[in-house]
Amino acid sequence: MPILTDLWLLIIIVTITGIIAGYIDAAIQCIMLKVWGSKKSASILQLHHFTFSIGAFLAPLLVSPFYSGDDDICSDSTDDNNEPVCLGIGDNNSILTPFLISSAFIASVFILMIWLYFVDITEKIKEDNQESADEREEDSFRDLWQYFIPVILFYFCIVSGENVYQSNIFSYAACKVGWESGKASILNSIFWAGFGIGRGSGIFFSRFLRPSTYIIIDLIFCAATATFLSIYPTNEIMLWIGSFTYGLGIATLYSCGISYSHELTNVSGKWIVTFGIGNAIGAMSMPILGTGIG
């Protein structure tokens, strides 16, 4: 993507990437729910989402060394609100290198997935976990649509809240608060560190806490952090602590929502799309709305 200069070609590539990633993510979660059932799959779902947070945490650290100190993230000019105008990464930054590193890793994972497919790993796992496999029939849409509407809204809120924060915290710290780009990048990594710790600890705590209880605890964390960040929006200590605790609180909401829903009804088949709908709406709309509002 760093070598693309045509906007529409970039949009097409990003869209295709998102569609493929969505299919893969949904398929993996379907397998987990179907093979391990509602109880045993809870911690496995947390593990699945924990691996995402590892990559998200490492990404800013991977990119940071390739930022040139000669390119300022903000210019000396200001916008209509007398705020510095952000110019992006600048021409002296070798952004292609971290993309190539990531691409090599993705290619390795692709080869591994192809091998697992040909050795029929799914059937082998099913044979070893027959006692926990979920054999329930999926309920009809007529019976579930009233439940699915708030579920979609729930995922819209948590995904948009996550995306808006992690997408804008770097620019906010660099342009609004006046931090250097390296320091702002570390702040972004602090968010993902809290996010990763939240999901990592969820692997353990999800064995003892019901999904509904876990969701309530997470929401309290998020609400408290958002309140303090609103009161002290430019306080450096609050930004460090708030970024960590917000990531910690929002981390396990996604997988807990799936586990909670799977306790009520079988969502290991076509109804897995319900979570993806809320996810997609939140991911697509709120970065635009959040950036515009900010």
Model confidence pLDDT, tens digit, residues 32-54: 887 787 777 788 888 888 888 78
Q: Structural domain tally of the chain?
A: 1
Q: Is residue 76 part of a domain?
A: no
Q: DSSP secondary-structure letter at 174?
A: I
pLDDT at 241 over 90: yes
Q: Is residue 151 part of a domain?
A: yes
Q: Is residue 158 part of a domain?
A: yes
pTM: 0.71
Residue 220: pLDDT band (50, 70, 90) is very high
> What's the CA gap between 279 and 272, in Å, rounded?
11
pLDDT in tens, 160-219: 888 888 888 888 888 888 888 778 888 888 898 898 899 889 888 888 888 899 999 999
Q: Is residue 89 part of a domain?
A: no
pLDDT at 283: 73
Q: Is residue 2 part of a domain?
A: no
pLDDT at 261 over 80: yes
Residue 101: pLDDT band (50, 70, 90) is confident
> What's the CA gap between 162 and 53, in Å, rounded?
12
| CA-angle at 243, arms to 197 and 278, nearest 5° | 75
Residue 239: pLDDT band (50, 70, 90) is very high
pLDDT in tens, 120-163: 877 777 777 666 666 677 778 788 788 888 888 888 888 888 88
Q: Is residue 85 part of a domain?
A: no
Q: State how far Cα 126 lies from the chain centre.
A: 28
pLDDT at 98: 78
Structural domain for 156, as ranges: 7-68+95-132+141-293
> What's the CA gap between 251 and 242, in Å, rounded?
14
> What's the CA gap between 259 and 206, in Å, rounded?
10
Q: Which residue has the higher pLDDT, 278 or 86?
A: 278
pLDDT at 83 over 60: no
Q: Which of 187, 174, 181, 167 is nearest to 288 (CA)?
A: 167
pLDDT at 80 over 70: no
Q: Is residue 88 part of a domain?
A: no
pLDDT at 132: 65
What rounded mean pLDDT belongs to the chain? 79
> What's the CA gap between 133 and 35, in Å, rounded?
5
Q: Is residue 79 part of a domain?
A: no
> Across the strands, what pairs with 74?
86
Q: Which of 3, 2, 289 is nearest to 168 (CA)?
A: 289
- At a CB cut-off of 8 Å and minimum separation 6, what does 216 contact? none
